[in-house]
Amino acid sequence: MAVYDLFRLYFNIEPRPSVWFLSGILLILFYRNKLQNYWQEAKNTGLGMRGERIVSEMLYGLKKDGYEIFNDLINAKGNIDHIIVGPAGVFTVETKTASKAGGDQRISYDGENIRIDGWIPSRNIIKQALAEKYWLEDFIAQRTEKTVTIKVTPVVIYPGWFIDPSCHKSTEVMILNDDEKGLPAQLQKMERTLSEEQIDILSKHIGDRIRECYKGS
């Protein structure tokens, strides 16, 4: 653009906005797919951040009930968004967000996969949640030298979505949203399985693991 303006100035050529207008259209057409991808990534990032904020606020409200909250524990296969340790046991929590593009706007379960508006995500959410459960159970067994055996309950939260009753058929994974019947309400219904001493021991090991990961990075 600078060279063109110098050329136009040197030869006293009249301004031709149509040249830039046409050039702009050609560039937009040429980079259309990339622009669309960038826009979608920006939307997904914003949606994910809002979802994480909603879930984080909900989880930190559990502290008054004696729960310890841990965020972003790195393991060999990735990371666990949140871990809850408290009277009702140990829970892994994954936050999943998705934009509502139409359809029945619900989260359902077909016996093997989670469906969002009827479509199946590229990553099997149930398998991911169970993998986190097994990893954390093994981690606790190793850190406590198998003196403590804990059954971890995996939780997947879809903020703002309607959860179809079919999701309750996945007995190993709790699939919830962020409404008043969500995780805090479910925890209140559960019996107390951990003592304060056990909560302190487990919290120490999980907290140590997170600190180790951050030191290593």
Residue 41 within any structural domain of the chain = no
Cα distance between residue 97 and residue 164, in whole Å: 16
Query: Does any domain span residue 44?
Result: no
For the whole model, what pTM was predicted? 0.76
**46 occurs within a structural domain:** no
In-domain check, residue 38: no
Report the SS3 class of residue 156: strand
Which residues, in sequence order, are bridge partners of residue 106?
A: 162
Q: Distance (Å, rounded) from C-alpha 133 to C-alpha 175?
A: 14
User: Domain for residue 58, yes or no?
Assistant: yes
Residue 161, in any domain of the structure: yes
| 94 SS3 class | strand
Task: Report CA-CA distances (Å) from 90 to 83, 193, 207, 212.
Answer: 7, 9, 14, 20
How many domains is the chain partitioned into structurally?
1
Q: For 30-64, write each residue's pLDDT tens digit.
A: 877 777 766 656 655 566 577 778 888 889 889 99
Residue 1's CB is within 10 A of a number of other CB atoms, namely 7
Q: Residue 152 has which token pair?
A: 């971890």
Give 161-188 pLDDT, tens digit per residue.
Answer: 899 888 877 678 999 988 877 899 999 9
The parent domain of residue 75 ranges over 52-216
Let me know if residue 209 belongs to a domain: yes
Tokens representing 55?
Answer: 């879930």
Q: How far is CA 207 from the centre of its chain?
A: 20
In a domain, 19, yes or no: no
End-to-end CA distance of the chain: 44
pLDDT single digits (tens) 70-92: 998 988 778 899 999 999 999 99
